[in-house]
C-alpha cells in the first residue's frame, strides 16, 4: 500500500497536480518509498526467520491500530475494519508460539554439521 501511495504521489507530482506544495509532495513521496522499502525488507527477513523484523512489524501494526480505531469509532466502519482486523490478526500471529520459535535468529540445519547460532560453545573444542 505504501508503495502504491508513493507511485500516486509521484504521478501527481509529475503531472503538477499535487494536493500539497511540490516540496511537501516530494517529501511525502520519499517518506512513503522509504517506509515501503523498510517494511518490505522486514517482511523478507521475517520470512527468513530473523528476529529483528518482529519489532518493525509490531510497531507498524500498533501504528495501524492508532489510525484504525479512530477511523472505526468515527463512523467509517468499513475502512476502520479494513485497518483494524488485519492489524489485530498480525499482532496475534506475531506472538504465536510457532512464529516465536521460527524467529529466534538465524538457524543452521542440524544435519549440515554446522553449529547452531545460539550455542555459546559451538565450534569450540570440548574440554575433558
Report if residue 126 sits inside a domain: no
Whether 3 and 29 map to the same domain: the answer is yes
Which pLDDT value is given to residue 119?
47
Report if residue 63 sits inside a domain: yes
| Overall domain count for the chain | 2
Whether 29 and 71 map to the same domain: the answer is no
Question: Where do the H-state alpha helices sit in the chain?
Answer: 2-14, 22-47, 53-73, 77-94, 97-102
22 burial class (0-12, 13-18, 19+ CB within 10 angstroms)?
exposed
Between these two residues, 124 and 103, which has the higher pLDDT value? 103
Whether 33 and 55 map to the same domain: the answer is no
**Which residues fall within 8 angstroms of residue 123, CB to CB, at 6 or more apart?**
115
Q: Tell me the whole-structure pTM to 2 decimals.
A: 0.62
Report if residue 18 sits inside a domain: yes
Report if residue 55 sits inside a domain: yes
Question: Residue 26 belongs to what domain range?
Answer: 1-38
**Which residues fall within 8 angstroms of residue 120, CB to CB, at 6 or more apart?**
none
Res. 111: pLDDT tops 60: no
Query: Model confidence over 24-79: pLDDT tens digits?
Result: 778 888 888 898 899 899 889 988 888 888 999 899 999 989 988 998 899 889 98
Whether 27 and 58 map to the same domain: the answer is no
Whether 56 and 32 map to the same domain: the answer is no
Res. 107: pLDDT tops 70: no
Which pLDDT value is given to residue 106?
53
Amino acid at each position: 500500500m505504501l508503495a502504491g501511495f508513493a507511485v500516486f504521489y509521484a504521478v501527481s507530482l509529475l503531472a503538477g497536480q499535487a494536493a500539497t506544495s511540490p516540496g511537501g509532495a516530494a517529501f511525502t513521496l520519499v517518506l512513503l518509498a522509504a517506509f515501503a522499502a523498510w517494511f518490505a525488507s522486514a517482511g523478507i527477513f521475517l520470512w527468513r526467520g530473523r528476529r529483528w523484523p518482529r519489532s518493525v512489524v509490531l510497531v507498524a501494526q500498533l501504528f495501524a491500530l492508532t489510525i484504525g480505531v479512530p477511523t472505526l469509532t468515527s463512523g467509517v466502519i468499513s475502512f476502520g475494519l479494513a485497518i483494524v482486523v488485519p492489524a489485530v490478526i498480525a499482532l496475534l500471529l506475531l506472538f504465536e508460539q510457532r512464529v516465536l520459535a521460527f524467529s529466534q535468529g538465524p538457524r543452521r540445519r542440524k544435519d549440515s554439521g554446522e553449529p547452531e547460532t545460539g550455542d555459546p560453545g559451538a565450534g569450540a573444542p570440548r574440554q575433558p
